[in-house]
């Protein structure tokens, strides 16, 4: 056997991620933490990612990210297919073609696939566990949203608690370890008016077949979500190993390289601009990589930013498939009328922005990666959630973590610029702002402790590596090592705040 293959198969873990940046980057950072403990790691994802990475860098094909080998398989669709608009078709085709294409990739790259220590997957590609079973490899899942979402979906899709129905759409949901949740606080995929049928189907199969996963790891930390983490211990435990964010946000060695991919080229000029702004003065605004706001909402945000007369940095990512209704586009007057007040970029180096001393707060769609990055930067948030986990993430920000406020929608679903202006003033000045900043700084310190040597997340990574490399637990064919997880959790619980 060639030396490279030998190395690839010895002490090797294969990560498999869905094609979005927000799923791949936490996976790569998990890979980095495994590599730091002597594990060889590769990451497989779909061809569309390679295509976007090439477009963003303009360079040759990337085959490694800081020592982690990248492998690609087809999702069954052409590269120019509009996956976002046709979400259900996309998830369906991916579910049909993904398993055989991933299986072929494993056969092609690994002479003895069963020597792999384990496959690690994420929630949007749950069928990876069937591919793992085909090769008799244990499978783990990295849950890439808050543990609260794991608990909600587990209970919803196993019918353990009551959730809104078409006849009772407004019911308030009560779950252990979480505050009471109204419909605007629940993930959109559990609501009766959710338009994407593929996700409830996917989550039903996933949460009714959890025994396929020997381990469930979470991109969170125990001290952040301890009540809800404890609440699922008896159901199917989740071990928090995060936050999986760049090392620079965690107070770790500045020399440590991040493991991440960039699907869009970031505009670095904004850092220079930030450096010219007073400390804690800038409002950072971004709605992540997927959300495209309707023109009316863009107008309300634009008006509010102009009226508050504070410096701002707004990421306006041009829609991949533009529409004639002006969605995702700035009002025509905005750039001219605010040219001395703020900056607009197509894509920012977000983690550098959030940790810049000039940044005061973040108006966000509440994607979980953005939230963790903000928590690790110790600044308050203004939540404007759109879909999937985001409404629940907003609820956590306001009522559990207490590090931000939420932009309330009008009865017709729109937002008014006055409400946004009020939110901005609330997080910038006065006693509420002061308390939010204090809470944010305290959480930042907890996050750093969790990932430092012997912190709760570091300990959970250590346990995971111990278990995947231990011969007796590696290949015993039994489902979930529930007791081990539970013991591990108890161990961590003792350290809880």
Ligand X SMILES: O=C(/C=C/c1ccccc1)O[C@@H]1O[C@H](CO)[C@@H](O)[C@H](O)[C@H]1O
Q: Between 281 and 320, how does the x/- string for binding to ligand UDP read (CB under 6 A)?
A: -----x-xxx------------------------x-----
Residue 41: φ, ψ to 5°? -130, 135
Residues in CB range of 68: below 8 A, 6 or more apart: 15, 28, 31, 32, 35, 41, 42, 43, 259
388 binds ligand X (CB under 6 A): yes
Stretch that binds ligand X, among 79-87, 134-142, 431-439, 467-475 (CB under 6 A): 79-87
Does the footprint of ligand X cover residue 389 (CB under 6 A)?
yes
CA atoms within 13 A on the CB side of 98: 24
CA pair distance 342, 309, nearest whole angstrom: 9
Site for ligand UDP in 336-355 (CB under 6 A): 347-348, 350-351
Q: Which does 460 bind (CB under 5 to 8 A by kind): ligand X, ligand UDP, none?
A: none
Q: How far is the CB of 372 from ligand X (least distance, A)?
A: 9
Range 273-292, binding ligand X (CB under 6 A): 288, 290
Q: Which does 145 bind (CB under 5 to 8 A by kind): ligand X, ligand UDP, none?
A: ligand X
- 188 counts as binding ligand UDP under rule CB under 6 A: no
- Residue 181: name the closest of 471, 370, 190 by CA: 190
- Contact string (CB under 6 A) for ligand X, positions 133-172, x = contact: -----------xx---------------------------
| Residue 23 in contact with ligand X, rule: CB under 6 A | yes
Alpha-carbon distance 316 to 159, whole Å?
Answer: 40
Q: By CB under 6 A, tell whether 31 contacts ligand UDP.
A: no
Packing angle, helices 295-308 and 417-428, rounded to 10: 50
**CA 368 → CA 23, 28, 371, 396, 422, distances in Å?**
10, 16, 5, 11, 24
Stretch that binds ligand X, among 80-88, 206-214, 296-304, 356-364 (CB under 6 A): 80-88
The DSSP output letter for 472 is: H
Instruction: Find the radius of gyration of the CA atoms of the chain.
Output: 22
Give yes or no for a contact between 284 and 313, defined as CB atoms under 8 angstroms apart: yes
- Name residue 69's beta-bridge partners: 42, 64
Q: Which of 35, 62, 87, 398 binds ligand X (CB under 6 A)?
A: 87
Name the binder of 388 from ligand X, ligand UDP, none, CB < 5-8 A by kind: ligand X
d(C-alpha 293, C-alpha 204), whole Å: 29
Contact residues: ligand UDP, CB under 6 A? 20-22, 25, 266, 286, 288-290, 315, 347-348, 350-351, 367-370, 373
Contact residues: ligand X, CB under 6 A? 20, 22-23, 83-84, 87, 90, 144-145, 288, 290, 367-368, 388-390
């Amino acid at each position: 056997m060639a030396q490279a293959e030998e190395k690839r198969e010895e002490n090797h873990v294969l990560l498999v991620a869905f094609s979005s940046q927000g799923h791949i980057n936490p996976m790569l950072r998990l890979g980095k933490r495994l590599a730091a403990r002597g594990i060889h790691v590769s990451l497989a994802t779909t061809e569309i990612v390679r295509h976007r990475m090439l477009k963003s860098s303009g360079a040759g094909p990337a085959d490694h990210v800081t020592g982690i080998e990248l492998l690609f398989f087809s999702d069954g669709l052409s590269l120019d297919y509009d996956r976002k608009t046709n979400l259900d078709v996309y998830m369906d085709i991916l579910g049909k073609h993904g398993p055989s294409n991933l299986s072929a990739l494993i056969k092609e790259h690994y002479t003895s696939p069963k020597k792999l220590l384990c496959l690690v997957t994420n929630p949007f590609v749950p069928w990876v566990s069937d591919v793992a079973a085909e090769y008799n490899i244990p499978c783990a899942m990295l849950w890439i949203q808050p543990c609260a979402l794991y608990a909600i979906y587990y209970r919803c899709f196993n019918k353990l608690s009551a959730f809104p129905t078409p006849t009772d759409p407004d019911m308030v949901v009560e779950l252990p370890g979480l505050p009471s949740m109204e419909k605007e606080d629940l993930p959109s995929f559990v609501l009766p008016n959710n338009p994407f049928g593929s996700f409830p189907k996917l989550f039903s199969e996933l949460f009714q077949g959890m025994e396929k996963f020997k381990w469930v790891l979470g991109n969170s930390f125990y001290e952040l979500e301890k009540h809800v983490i404890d609440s699922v211990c008896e159901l199917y435990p989740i071990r928090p190993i995060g936050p999986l964010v760049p090392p620079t946000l965690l107070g770790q060695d500045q020399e440590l390289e991040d493991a991440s991919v960039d699907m869009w080229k970031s505009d670095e000029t904004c850092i220079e601009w930030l450096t010219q702004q007073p400390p804690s003065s800038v409002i950072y605004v971004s709605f992540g990589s997927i959300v495209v706001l309707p023109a009316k909402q863009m107008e309300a945000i634009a008006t509010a930013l102009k009226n508050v007369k504070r410096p701002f940095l707004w990421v306006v990512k041009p829609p991949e498939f533009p529409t004639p209704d002006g969605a995702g586009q700035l009002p025509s007057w905005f750039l001219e009328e605010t040219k001395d007040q703020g900056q607009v970029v197509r894509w920012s180096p977000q983690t550098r922005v959030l940790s810049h001393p000039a940044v005061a707060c973040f108006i966000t769609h509440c994607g979980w990666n953005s939230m963790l990055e903000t928590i690790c930067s110790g600044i308050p948030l203004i939540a404007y959630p759109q879909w999937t986990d985001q409404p629940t993430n907003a609820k956590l920000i306001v009522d559990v973590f207490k590090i931000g406020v939420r932009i309330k929608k009008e009865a017709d679903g729109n937002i008014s610029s006055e409400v946004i202006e009020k939110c901005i003033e609330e997080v910038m000045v006065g006693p509420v702002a002061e308390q939010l900043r204090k809470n944010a700084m305290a959480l930042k310190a907890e996050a750093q402790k969790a990932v430092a040597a012997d912190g709760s997340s570091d300990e959970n990574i250590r346990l995971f590596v111990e278990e995947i490399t231990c011969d007796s637990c590696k290949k015993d064919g039994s489902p979930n090592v529930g007791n081990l997880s539970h013991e591990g959790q108890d161990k961590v619980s003792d350290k809880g705040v």
